[in-house]
């Protein structure tokens, strides 16, 4: 059994980073995100009367949009020089076992604002289904990410970042005899 080094050199600076680093924020997101996704899909199909054969492809488009957004956020925000995004991500790399996440109200607020403007106010069909797909993908990513750091051997350091582990699993390095 290995011990985890709990020393963190990067600390939250400010209210948003403090909230992001609080364990309750981490767990609340696992409840609010799928709940909002289900609400959005139900709203689109039941209130706006969007046909399921239209709503489901829009959910898929939302999943693809989330994939692109996640890559862009990780690439250009989390590794940028902007402390608001970088500090929390650095804390995650230093101690992947910590329960750190984007504040739940940021995700719900952004998606809720998009829903309110486009689906609720303008009554545009299928947009809420796309937003539901976006949030569903975000939730699935969160579950997989959590399992990667907490259920699958408790990886830490460079292994837990995903860079080393993914390449090691796909292309194992030969060991010297």
**Neighbouring residues of 115: CB distance < 8 A, sequence distance ≥ 6:** 40, 43, 127, 128, 131
d(CA 159, CA 145): 13
Taking alpha carbons only, the member of 150, 28, 161 closest to residue 98 is 150
Q: pLDDT tens across 156-175, in order?
A: 444 544 444 333 333 333 44
Q: pLDDT tens across 64-107, in order?
A: 999 999 999 888 887 777 666 777 777 777 877 878 888 889 88
Give 173's DSSP letter.
P
d(CA 74, CA 80): 9
Q: pLDDT tens across 15-61, in order?
A: 777 787 788 888 999 999 999 999 999 999 999 999 999 999 999 99
| 143: enclosing H helix or E strand | helix 127-150
């Amino acid at each position: 059994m290995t011990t985890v080094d709990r020393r963190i050199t990067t600390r939250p600076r400010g209210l948003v980073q403090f909230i992001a680093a609080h364990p309750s924020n981490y767990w609340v997101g696992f409840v609010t995100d799928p709940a909002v996704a289900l609400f959005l899909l139900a709203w689109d199909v039941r209130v706006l009367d969007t046909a399921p054969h239209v709503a489901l492809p829009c959910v898929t488009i939302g999943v693809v949009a989330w994939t692109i957004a996640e890559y862009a956020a990780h690439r250009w925000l989390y590794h940028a020089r902007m402390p608001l995004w970088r500090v929390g991500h650095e804390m995650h790399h230093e101690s992947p076992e910590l329960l750190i996440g984007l504040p739940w109200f940021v995700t719900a607020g952004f998606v809720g604002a998009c829903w309110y403007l486009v689906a609720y106010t303008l009554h545009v069909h299928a947009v809420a289904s796309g937003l539901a797909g976006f949030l569903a993908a975000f939730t699935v990513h969160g579950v997989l990410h959590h399992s990667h750091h907490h259920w699958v051997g408790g990886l830490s350091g460079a292994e837990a970042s995903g860079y080393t582990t993914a390449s090691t699993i796909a292309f194992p390095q030969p060991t010297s005899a």
